[in-house]
Amino acid sequence: MGNETPAASGGPKRKPLVHFQLARAATPTKLLITFFLLLLLLSFFFGALYSYEKTGLGMEGTRLRYQGAAEDEETEELHFPISDEELLRLTHVHTFGLAIMFYLFGHIFILTSAKAVTKNAMLISFFVFLLVFIAAPWLTRYQAGFGFLFIGSLGILCVQALFLSAVPIYEMWFDRRASEPTAD
């Protein structure tokens, strides 16, 4: 009984929502989604800025961050490697947070009028680069040559986040092919 549709149980028959269109959303919905995407982008920006602060986004800085060094000959500073416990904690926090960001960016992006192949490609590539980004510190911790994965995946993720935000924002505010908003 609990799995019946309203029509099957004698209630009013409702037309199912087949596809929500961002371009047809009411202005408050557009504002909410736009501001939310801008905050997600800001979060990515601060994450990248923090990575720059810790590593300089270079191979040597990345190696020093995750492997450490006995003494920096230029500055005479000691660089201790990040502990496995700390790396595990960072991995846990980043995996959880990035999973939520992946879902939110992806969910909003699939509401656009982009072709299915574009949506699939963006979601798959974003997911793959998130996995690379999560694995890169561990790989770099034990083999410095993998530092490029951290730097490269971060850069690609930032570009993808920008794309996953720009398309919905453009479609909501500037795409004139769509009809007028449904309600204000």
Helix (H) or strand (E) holding 116: helix 116-142
- Cβ–Cβ < 8 Å for 66, 81: yes
Q: What is the CA angle 50-55-61, rounded to 5?
A: 175
Q: How far apart are CA 50 and CA 56, in angstroms?
A: 9
User: What's residue 14's pLDDT?
Assistant: 63
Nearest CA among 107, 163, 99, 108 for reference residue 134? 99
Count of CB atoms situated within 10 Å of the CB of 38: 12
User: What's residue 1's pLDDT?
Assistant: 47
What's the token pair of residue 67? 């492997």
Q: How far apart are CA 50 and CA 99, in angstroms?
A: 19
What's the pTM value of the predicted model, to 2 decimals? 0.80
Per-residue pLDDT tens, the chain, 184 aa: give them: 445 455 555 666 665 445 678 888 999 999 999 999 999 999 999 999 999 998 898 998 888 888 887 665 666 677 788 889 999 999 999 999 999 999 999 999 999 999 999 999 999 999 999 999 999 999 999 998 999 999 999 999 999 999 999 999 999 999 877 555 545 4
